[in-house]
Amino acid sequence: MDNTSIHDLIIVGSGPSGYTAGIYAARASLKPLILAGEKAGGQLMLTTVIENWPGNEKGIDGPLLMDEMRKQAERFGATVEYRNVQRVDFSDPVIKKVFVKTKDGEVEYQAKSIILATGADSIMLGIPGEQRLIGRGVSTCAVCDAAFFKDKKTVVIGGGDSAMEDTLALTKFASSVTVIHRRDSFKASKIMQDRVLNNPKVKVMWNTIPQEVLGDPAVTSLKVSENGQEKMIETDGVFLAIGHRPTTEFLQNHVELDDHGYIVTRTSLTQKGIELAQAALNEGIIQFPTMTSVTGVFAAGDVVDVRYKQAITASAQGCQAAIDAERWLEQR
């Protein structure tokens, strides 16, 4: 494809949100260009069976689902390029520019509208065994994987709201949930802490640092240091809930980000999001809810979503962003 032409829409990112935006925009004849990144497909490429994707009674493999979504977008006229966007320039009110790095330097792409769908990565501990056992007992999504741990022993690492939510999700299936936290108090909201601390299946280990995940081929134990003393905890699952890092470094100073680095849109339920929504309130409704602080630049999926981070919610937001972009382009 000639990258000097001005596209109607460029989608940056290729998880469920990027590809769903691609499907909708392509079916609206926008011929979107999807800059999918060198490692396309997002977080679902790291998962095995997804059991909560509606319409697949027996579950579907993450990589297969992403491949199907890509092909579906291409079938309707989307073009997918496996390139990483490293820089953007949204200073022109009409033409937005994104730049990808190539072996010969930098290539510029231009578009009238952009959807940012670059996702978020789970923060990892970086301890031995963690990477090797991902999908074999180590998980970053309790909502997705809790049901695989029926009557099993589990461990959750972290002390924020995600850790509390993951713990509560696991108590519905697992025989026990041990929360491992590096300090002597949680930072999670009081109500979530109370629910966790009052649940009879939950035990908390304070001042405890995970050191190594063990097991072959699947997790059998976690080595920790509790108050400086080495201990082995027998467990079938290690759930990491120490936060997420939205992929927005290349967007800093180009679109409004919140304090955690997530892109703010008119649907973000934060002070900044409410301010954007208020400014976009017209005749009783908020125009283009998925628009960011930059006119013509929309965002969808985990890169805006502090809370849900599910394939289905990311997909739905991709759909919303594509419809907003289409209507916004039409109005112009």
Which contiguous run of DSSP H or E holds residue 321?
helix 311-331
CA R_g for the chain:
21
* Options 71, 75, 307, 327; binder of ligand NDP; rule CB under 6 A: 307
Are 14 and 62 within 8 A, CB to CB? no
User: CB under 6 A: which stretch of 63-71, 79-87, 93-101, 154-162 binds ligand NDP?
Assistant: 154-162
* Options 69, 125, 291, 297; binder of ligand NDP; rule CB under 6 A: 125
Q: Write b or e for each residue in 24-33: b if 16 or more Cβ atoms lie within 10 A of its Cβ, otherwise e.
A: bbbbbebebb
Beta-strand pair 105-116/79-81: unpaired
Quick check: helix, strand or coil at residue 100? strand
Residue 16 — φ and ψ, nearest 5°? -55, -35
Considering the candidates 8, 61, 104, 145, report the single residue annotated as catalytic. 145
Nearer to ligand NDP, 161 or 324 (CB): 161
Distance of CA 109 to the CA centre of its chain: 25
* Options 20, 88, 133, 165; binder of ligand NDP; rule CB under 6 A: 165
Quick check: helix, strand or coil at residue 288? coil
Beta-strand pair 176-180/105-116: unpaired
- Report the distance separating Cα 125 and Cα 136, nearest Å: 16
Give catalytic status of residue 145 as yes or no. Answer: yes
Nearer to ligand NDP, 62 or 158 (CB): 158
DSSP structure class, residue 264: P
Torsion sign across C-alpha atoms 15, 17, 23, 26: negative
Give catalytic status of residue 144 as yes or no. Answer: yes
User: CB under 6 A: which stretch of 45-53, 160-168, 229-237, 280-288 binds ligand NDP?
Assistant: 160-168
User: CB under 6 A: which stretch of 96-104, 181-189, 193-201, 212-220 binds ligand NDP?
Assistant: 181-189
User: CB under 6 A: which stretch of 7-15, 47-55, 103-111, 162-170 binds ligand NDP?
Assistant: 162-170
* Options 172, 187, 203, 327; binder of ligand NDP; rule CB under 6 A: 187
User: Which residues, numbered 210-249, are part of the site for ligand NDP (CB under 6 A)?
Assistant: 241-244
By CB under 6 A, the count of residues binding ligand NDP is: 18
What tokens does 123 get? 């923060």
Nearer to ligand NDP, 163 or 311 (CB): 163
Site string for ligand NDP, 33-62 (x = CB under 6 A): ------------------------------
Provide the binding-site residues for ligand NDP, judged by CB under 6 A: 125, 157-163, 165, 182-183, 187, 241-244, 306-307
Query: Which of the residues are catalytic?
Result: 141, 144-145
